[in-house]
Structure 1
């Protein structure tokens, strides 16, 4: 590393501009270290280095006889970096690995990102809400980083952390006590973490990410309802992402009405897989009126775009109205879901507590050899 006691005296205005444009963070690619904070003690301090892209002294990295004297105090030739990154590229032996063009690109990309993020309007911010069994585990697809990537560039995180309402019970899901405990935990967490923000935080939009048993996702949807300005996301398998994809093909959900008019009414959601009627009758008996919401090709990864989810909302709303009109006000809808996580949440959101029939949600349980009752939505 070249040494020179006659280091240029950078003007205060240029230093201020460097701190502003970098957001006070290291501009070296993928570093982003805060340069005002001690990593261990959290004490405030200035640990920034002002590094030259074209070295100011002969023998320095990337020295240029024309550009170096001309740009030695110029903003365009200076980067704000941490000590470790400064040592990485401010070395004559690393010139080929870190040419000037590469560093200029690093500086530009970092400054563009800071400008974009600091210019976010309040109506572009969103609370990232995570609900699932593996919250906080980096290996899980349900994490803050993946969620942030999914909402960009339409929305930006309102806070540097998600709103987490994870599952808590150590009980097994074949037991009634499991569902009661998880439902109670969800309600308590929702009130303390989500409802608390409603009307009190400047950001009122929520981005919803769920990986949990479908009855609990439906329950979460009922808590959100239409009172919250929210967008629900879906985890895709190919490619693996939460980001909504632009799909040219249409998905047309359809209602298959019941062929009988019994007072025991079932509604199958055959979206991820088909559910044969005999499985429903094993739970409800032979005298059951079985409705279905399905589409042309039920599979685990069919739902790709926002438009697909919008079409599901439309058809689910229509089915709830048709069942009530045909079977009357005093029936309960027994819901048998085989559906993507986003549609489970949206089913809860379109259900209206004052207008719609009560629902009993079932869940497939291998230990019990079929569907079991879980939660009642009423």
Structure 2
């Protein structure tokens, strides 16, 4: 434990660099309030990386005296982690490890506090039940994924989830109930705030069956400025994989036959065999296919891929309408990432595009079933 006097100016600089939070890796605890009573007072301790005495933790005959008041050798910590590094587990906390902790924490604080006001964004969370599993999305995970390009406009997210729902996607009334709830919540919590200009930017995180994500996209539309995020499996999380260099080239296959009955097969996260669509709609169906070389559930890793998808979908909807007529309906069979589902809904224009009939695969009901419909205005 430190016994040296730390000058007040040095303490203030350390507090600023740490943003009043514990600098131990993974802690980040606020140090200006008591967890239990919420009373506001200083709960911090100042720890030395190299002990302030040669006989102290990580002490050095020369450097201990030289660096005892040096900001580069000081860390702001909670009581628990101060005791951990100086008393309980000194051997596991080398100088190098603590220096790295301090650097990462202070670099993160500098990066986040350097973000300008125009980069603020309202977090929009949408999660519905998928099968027998719930799909939680959280403000904390969203805020982490947005940084450093955006930061949350508020400490609380806009939540459109149907919490504690007992319905699952195999229930007869599931689609009607979830769609109605989503529309009501969007109108109550988002629509007017977008219209008034209160919300200038949205960061959207959705984890729900694809037809509902498409529905969410149609509600948002392509008018507001929006960033849509994808939940990655490896590495797990919502942050885009900036280090990814893999490019997926989207391709479109036109139908072999021309018919008044038209379907769109979106095979991105998995392959949908045309025979499964024929089983639902019949042999006399024109099937357009949007796909990639090797469909898989973790291919979408960069926002640029999502942008390319949007551009292609806009063109594809126009091409299908030109070929099959504006007053026809388009049967959509989706197997695509959650972010792509939302963006597909956003590019669909209710005044210009064909009516949509959206299907969902449900094994308990033997295959694809009609889930939702989107009418023209």
2:24 aligned partner? 28
Matches within 5 A, 1:71-90: 71-90=67-86
Change (3 A) 1:194 1:287: same
Tell me, what secondary structure is at the counterpart of 1:198? helix
> Which one of the candidate residues 325, 337, 341 is aligned to 2:338?
341
Q: 1:357 Cα shift?
A: 1.6
Distance 1:99 1:299 in 2: 43
Change (3 A) 1:350 1:25: same
Change (3 A) 1:70 1:189: same
1:227 aligned partner? 223
> Is the CA contact 1:151–1:243 (under 8 Å) kept in the aligned structure 2?
yes
> Which one of the candidate residues 81, 96, 99 is aligned to 1:104?
99
Distance 1:128 1:100 in 2: 39
Q: 1:351 Cα shift?
A: 0.4
2:167 aligned partner? 171
Distance 1:113 1:182 in 2: 39
Distance 2:79 2:196 in 1: 41
Tell me, what secondary structure is at the counterpart of 2:194? coil
> Is the CA contact 1:361–1:374 (under 8 Å) kept in the aligned structure 2?
yes
Distance 1:50 1:241 in 2: 33
2:352 aligned partner? 355
Calculate the TM-score normalised by the size of structure 2: 0.85
Q: How many aligned positions are there?
A: 369
Q: Deviations over 1:79-127 (max 9, x none)?
A: 3222222222234x85543344443333333222222211111233333
Tell me, what secondary structure is at the counterpart of 1:130? strand
In structure 2, stretches of 5+ residues that fail to align are none
Distance 1:160 1:82 in 2: 23
Distance 1:253 1:307 in 2: 16
> Is the CA contact 2:129–2:169 (under 8 Å) kept in the aligned structure 1?
no
Q: 1:134 Cα shift?
A: 6.2
Distance 1:329 1:19 in 2: 63
Q: 1:181 Cα shift?
A: 0.8
Matches within 5 A, 1:44-193: 44-57=40-53, 59-91=55-87, 95-133=90-128, 142-168=137-163, 169-193=165-189
Tell me, what secondary structure is at the counterpart of 2:304? helix
Tell me, what secondary structure is at the counterpart of 1:266? strand
Q: 1:39 Cα shift?
A: 0.3
> Is the CA contact 1:127–1:162 (under 8 Å) kept in the aligned structure 2?
yes
Calculate the TM-score normalised by the size of structure 1: 0.84
Distance 2:52 2:234 in 1: 50
> Is the CA contact 2:112–2:147 (under 8 Å) kept in the aligned structure 1?
no
Q: 1:359 Cα shift?
A: 0.9
Tell me, what secondary structure is at the counterpart of 1:51? strand
> Is the CA contact 1:253–1:311 (under 8 Å) kept in the aligned structure 2?
no
Matches within 5 A, 1:273-292: 273-292=270-289
Q: 1:302 Cα shift?
A: 3.5
Change (3 A) 1:286 1:97: closer
Tell me, what secondary structure is at the counterpart of 1:316? helix
Tell me, what secondary structure is at the counterpart of 2:23? coil
> Which one of the candidate residues 239, 258, 261 is aligned to 1:260?
258
Change (3 A) 1:126 1:89: same
The answer on 1:198 being equivalent to 2:194 is yes
Matches within 5 A, 1:327-338: 327-338=324-335
Q: 1:34 Cα shift?
A: 1.0
> Is the CA contact 2:135–2:207 (under 8 Å) kept in the aligned structure 1?
no
The answer on 1:13 being equivalent to 2:12 is no
Distance 2:340 2:247 in 1: 18
Task: Single out whichever of 322-331 and 70-79 deviates more from structure 2.
Answer: 70-79
> Is the CA contact 2:127–2:135 (under 8 Å) kept in the aligned structure 1?
no
1:297 aligned partner? 294
Distance 1:84 1:377 in 2: 56
Q: 1:277 Cα shift?
A: 4.0
Task: Single out whichever of 111-120 and 60-69 deviates more from structure 2.
Answer: 60-69
